[in-house]
Amino acid sequence: MKSPRKTPLKLEDVKAESCTFDSRMKILHDLPFFKKISREEIHNVNNVFSDTKCNIDEVIYREGERSTRLYVIASGSVKLIKQNFDGKEVLIDILKQGEFFGNLDPFGETFYDETAIAQVSSCIMIINSEQFRTILEKYPAASLKVLDIMSKRLREAQEMIKLLSAYSVENRVAYTILKLGEKLGNPNKLGLLIQIPLSRYDIAGMTGTTPETTSRIISKFKEEGLISTGRKWTVIKNINRLKEKVKI
Amino acid sequence: MKSPRKTPLKLEDVKAESCTFDSRMKILHDLPFFKKISREEIHNVNNVFSDTKCNIDEVIYREGERSTRLYVIASGSVKLIKQNFDGKEVLIDILKQGEFFGNLDPFGETFYDETAIAQVSSCIMIINSEQFRTILEKYPAASLKVLDIMSKRLREAQEMIKLLSAYSVENRVAYTILKLGEKLGNPNKLGLLIQIPLSRYDIAGMTGTTPETTSRIISKFKEEGLISTGRKWTVIKNINRLKEKVKI
DNA sequence: CGTATAGTTGATTTGGCTCAACATCGGTGG
DNA sequence: CCACCGATGTTGAGCCAAATCAACTATACG
């Protein structure tokens, strides 16, 4: 059963970049909502952002804190977590380079309703919500792009509601791995490689189940040759047969 | 146990209004995103909308159909439904007067990912997604308002993901009734009256459970004096004690 | 007033949770 | 470089919340 553990991951691959001026400019320029803005204007926008380096597992903000800031991932990845009354963690989303999180509302009298944690060492750019809205008011096309991103996230959240309401844990785990592959995967001779540390506990939090049940299902998928996993990576070996596990 | 059935609802209350010019203008003017637009401009906007009357249980659009339109509820209410592979219904949202649904994306090559059904006789205003985006580009403040609405919906969807992932059915049913009360309730001598036809099947679809389990829980809540219900209404009699049923 | 639809309630089954013991991994210090 | 150890993952056994199946009752509506 046990195949020799050949990690497909060179550790250097996930070393965090520092937030250089050039990398920040490139990130901003590549953001879907700033695509049509000129280089000089991007330069101005860049000046409104500050940035910070976050180590792995570092908390960026905590559920319930006053919220006045919007964050953009310059490099790395971030997970958004909610907790229920007795401490069980629900993993709401995993965000990658170029995605934003935090608070879009202006004038701050609201609170973060999730906790943001760096999943790997990351560089995060920070802007005041109000300033971000000022930028959006200035560039209506950017506003619409942000709106599209929010629509997409809402669609995805509603799809997860459907899965949690009317699908088995096995369906949900398969769906979640496929979605992660789509979003974060890199094709590779072994299959589709997802290079993030993803514990059984994380997957359980994304699928509304327990680490034990997750482990059983992942073991089954491995036995069936659908995926293989290590502590810091997952490979989808047979995407079509994995898709058969999700009846949507 | 059984209390005499005195319906707190006059049936005339839910008779659908027709889509008169005046009511349309009023709806548009009251939309959060058009609040700051002048009367003449609203008049122009109004000309871009068409409207239609929908009877109770009439399907407005179906999951999977090509989508190019955005809808605004002028009067009545609409439920959004998804179905799983074996036909089980998941009720994603209930929308009321002034709320929009359908597709915000332009140029149509996408598909509705839910089915919209009139929950009561309703008047629905219709606009082409592309035309709506043109309006938003013209009024950046309106764009930001729409963005706020989408943010709120995303927050609510993520909250429901948390509930489905980490709370009991009883918690979820209590939460759902409270949310409906907040959104659709009218204070009344009996408590907070929710005047919509809400079957056990509907509540089951909103909470990821079955009609039977819903019935048991609703019966329990009734026995405890928290709520009372008829086929077309629900009253929250003791909102504080109902809140104790949801540990958030 | 009769019939179809929706709701209730009970009995039984079951998917997945909990609790528990053990295995494996990978980082750390000797 | 290897041995150790805490953290993470795996596997088994038993249990429980909620699903399913089924019989029955209440309600609305023609």
pLDDT band at A38 (very low <50, low <70, confident <90, very high): confident
Predicted confidence (pLDDT) at residue B11 exceeds the cutoff of 50: no
pLDDT band at B126 (very low <50, low <70, confident <90, very high): very high
Say yes or no: A162 contacts chain B, CB-CB below 8 A. yes
Question: Residues B238, B244, B247, B248: what is their CA dihedral angle, to the nearest 10 degrees?
Answer: 50
pLDDT digits (tens, 9 = 90+) for A162-205: 999 999 999 999 999 999 999 999 999 999 999 999 999 999 99
Q: pTM score > 0.75 for this model?
A: yes
Nearest nucleotide by C1' from A229 CA?
D9
pLDDT digits (tens, 9 = 90+) for B170-197: 999 999 999 999 999 999 999 999 999 9
Say yes or no: A113 contacts chain B, CB-CB below 8 A. yes
Residue of chain B minimizing CA distance to A167: B84
Reduced DSSP (H G I as helix, E B as strand, rest coil) percent helix, strand, coil of chain A, to 5: 45, 25, 30
Q: Which residue is closest, via its CA, to the C1' of C19? A: A212
- Of chain A residues 151-170, which have a beta carbon within 7 Å of strand D? none
Asked if B224 and B241 count as a contact pair (C-beta separation under 8 A), the reply is yes
Q: Which residue has the higher pLDDT, A107 or B87?
A: B87
Predicted confidence (pLDDT) at residue A2 exceeds the cutoff of 50: no
Mutate to test the interface with A, among B129, B147, B245 (most CBs of A within 10 A): B147
The partner residues of A215 in beta bridges, in order of sequence, read none
pLDDT digits (tens, 9 = 90+) for B71-125: 999 999 999 999 999 889 999 999 999 999 999 987 767 899 999 999 999 999 9
pLDDT digits (tens, 9 = 90+) for A205-217: 999 999 999 999 9
Q: How far is A159 from chain B (nearest CA, A)?
A: 9
Q: How far is A214 from chain B (nearest CA, A)?
A: 14
- Residue among B85, B164, B248 minimizing CB distance to A164: B164
The partner residues of B77 in beta bridges, in order of sequence, read B96
Taking an 8 Å cut-off on Cβ atoms, the answer to whether B82 and A167 are in contact is no
Asked if B70 and B127 count as a contact pair (C-beta separation under 8 A), the reply is yes
pLDDT digits (tens, 9 = 90+) for A227-245: 999 999 999 999 999 999 9
The partner residues of A93 in beta bridges, in order of sequence, read A80
- Of chain A residues 139-178, which have a beta carbon within 7 Å of strand C? 168-170
Token digits for B232? 């077309």
Token digits for B40? 């003449």
Taking an 8 Å cut-off on Cβ atoms, the answer to whether A137 and B136 are in contact is no
**pLDDT at residue A3, rounded to an integer:** 39
Q: What is the three-state SS of chain A?
A: CCCCCCCCCCHHHHCCCCCCHHHHHHHHHHCHHHCCCCHHHHHHHHHHCEEEEECCCCEEECCCCEECEEEEEEECEEEEEEECCCCCEEEEEEEECCCEEECCCCCCEEECCCEEEECCCEEEEEEEHHHHHHHHHHCHHHHHHHHHHHHHHHHHHHHHHHHHHHCCHHHHHHHHHHHHHHHHEEEECCEEEECCCCCHHHHHHHHCCCHHHHHHHHHHHHHCCCEEEECCEEEECCHHHHHCCCCC
Cβ B231 to strand D below 7 Å:
yes
Distance B195 CA to D23 C1' (A): 32
Q: How far is A51 from chain B (nearest CA, A)?
A: 24
Predicted confidence (pLDDT) at residue A10 exceeds the cutoff of 70: no
What integer is the mean pLDDT of B208-215?
Answer: 98
Cβ B6 to strand D below 7 Å:
no
Compute the C-alpha angle A63/A65/A66, nearest 5°. Answer: 135
Q: Which residue has the higher pLDDT, A17 or B70?
A: B70
